[in-house]
Amino acid sequence: MFNYFGSKYLLAKTYQPPAFDVIVEPFAGSAQYAMYWMRERSDITCIMYDTDPKVIASWNRILAATPDEIMNWSVKIGDPVNDYIDLANYGGGNRVVNARIVSDFRQAKPGWARTRAAVGDRVTIIEGDYTQALDIEATWFIDPPYTDAGHNYAHSMVDYQQLAEWARNRKGQTIVTEAGSADWLPFSHHKTQRTNLGTTRSRELVWYSHPEPSLLDLIG
């Protein structure tokens, strides 16, 4: 929903589409996969979890507002930065609003308002660890802090072997994303692309519980 470090904004539509009408994002951030599919399909609801209180505050603020109220939001240089909506700037360490944040904020508002209008009351956000997620049959989009970039998230403590086991045991359809040379699941190469800061390239990996049939499967 908001601009966020490591967000899947550019990639959301490149993964398997949801096979279920509930999407769970146990590592929410700005939950771009769920938001993309909820804008596309009005029958989809989502449940998400995050351990970072700022992420939760950002979601609560956006979900409590109408699209018109969002369009009337503003920030001024020197204001304190309260959450990722004020920050509008990929999660850096900023404490006060600067000129760049004012400009990003203004440009981002129409997108937030459109997404807010599209999702209605179909979003549930819960502050908590991913292991608290109810084990329901759903499309699970699991996008944890990457093993080689996890230091960017303030509230991150993940045992990746435990997460691998947990991901394999979800009911329904599971999509797990990673990058670089991570090998805690048998990931496949997904795409190599510029990061959302545009400065470096990232080798994106994915693991699907139900991979698409390969050409060989179709022939054989």
Ligand X SMILES: C[S@@+](CC[C@H](N)C(=O)[O-])C[C@H]1O[C@@H](n2cnc3c(N)ncnc32)[C@H](O)[C@@H]1O
Rounded CA gap, 17 and 33, in Å? 9
Is 4 one of the binding residues for ligand X (CB under 6 A)? yes
In terms of Cα–Cα distance, which of 115, 98, 5 is closest to 59? 115
Minimum CB separation from ligand X for residue 56, in Å? 9
Q: How far apart are CA 29 and CA 193, in angstroms?
A: 20
Query: Quick check: 204 binds ligand X (CB under 6 A)?
Result: no
Per-residue contact flags (x/-) with ligand X for residues 50 to 69, judged by CB under 6 A: xxx--x--------------
Given 60, 72, 103, 156, the residue binding ligand X (CB under 6 A): 156
Element (H, E) at 125: strand 123-127
Element (H, E) at 190: strand 188-194
Specify the residue for token string 């240089």: 77
What tokens appear for 187 in the block? 């990931």
155 binds ligand X (CB under 6 A): yes
From residue 79 to residue 118, the character string flagging contacts with ligand X as x (rule: CB under 6 A) and all else as - is ----------------------------------------
Does 30 interact with ligand X (rule: CB under 6 A)? yes
Alpha carbons 197 and 49: distance in angstroms, whole number: 24
Per CB under 6 A, 143 contacts ligand X: yes
Q: Note whether 25 and 33 are within 8 A (CB).
A: yes
Does the footprint of ligand X cover residue 172 (CB under 6 A)?
no
Size of the site for ligand X (CB under 6 A): 24
Using the rule CB under 6 A, is 18 a contact of ligand X? Answer: no
Supply the DSSP symbol for 80.
Answer: B
Enumerate binding residues for ligand X (CB under 6 A): 4, 6-8, 26-27, 29-32, 49-52, 55, 129-130, 143-145, 153, 155-156, 158
